[in-house]
Chains A and B, each alone.
Chain A
């Protein structure tokens, strides 16, 4: 996981608000709460075979943007993540966008397998 050739870690992931929400192009519905959102995001990161960041930095007054390329089960996958902070500087809202469509659906299927049999699976059930 690199940004400008150096190791990168998303610090916002360790600073989630208690009532943080997560939405995504590959998901239906919204995940709520720090425990659930962290659990889902950590599992998602485990699916990536690499992450090469093109940009990771401020976006607007209260946002943070990540723009990276990756692959999931050998399929090139491009991702834009928008993080919005609350007044306390904690991560309040996370939106993860995978593309193109085939890669988004591939990722959704992988996440359904990962969370099969758990309450989180609902976000990926019905993926064609």
Chain B
């Protein structure tokens, strides 16, 4: 899966710097994903489901935040995403909010994530997706 920003490969450095008690929230799931191992697993799974990531912005947002703005697609459905990362005093990613749009694409991703995590404890976040 190609992930590019301004034509060059892009990797989210914050993904390797998660606080132990990091939380992950978003319109595509219910509840908050808790803890570094779970958040890391979910983000990596989502990146595997994306067919590409083309970043329009990846950089600072306010004093303690980092923002990513990218386009993607899932199962051929166009997807736009804004990721807000909030760092703690130690510079670790403390809070992650992944905002997908439009609504039809949110639900497509949610269904794909439910399939991906079916039979695991993390599936609860996507169960009930219409």
What residues make up the interface of A, taking CB atoms closer than 8 Å to B? 23-29, 55, 57-60, 63, 65, 67, 78, 80, 82, 95, 97-102, 104-105, 108, 124, 126-128
* Chain B nearest Cβ from A35, distance in angstroms: 21
* Contact A25 B61, beta carbon cutoff 8 Å: no
* Contact B106 A101, beta carbon cutoff 8 Å: yes
Q: Contacting B82 at CB < 8 Å: which of A80, A100, A126? A: A80
B129 adjacent to chain A (CB < 8 Å): yes
* Chain A nearest Cβ from B121, distance in angstroms: 17
Quick one: closest B residue to A57, CB to CB? B62
Known: A80-B99, A98-B27. A104 touches B106 (CB 8 A): yes
Range class of the B interface residue count? 20 to 34
* Contact B60 A60, beta carbon cutoff 8 Å: yes
Known: A99-B25, A128-B107. A65 touches B101 (CB 8 A): no
* Chain A nearest Cβ from B104, distance in angstroms: 5
* Contact A25 B67, beta carbon cutoff 8 Å: no
* Chain A nearest Cβ from B23, distance in angstroms: 11
* Extra inter-chain contacts (20) besides given A99-B99, A100-B32, CB under 8 Å: A25-B100, A25-B106, A27-B101, A28-B102, A55-B65, A58-B62, A60-B61, A65-B84, A78-B25, A95-B80, A95-B99, A97-B27, A97-B82, A98-B27, A99-B26, A100-B29, A100-B31, A104-B103, A124-B103, A127-B103
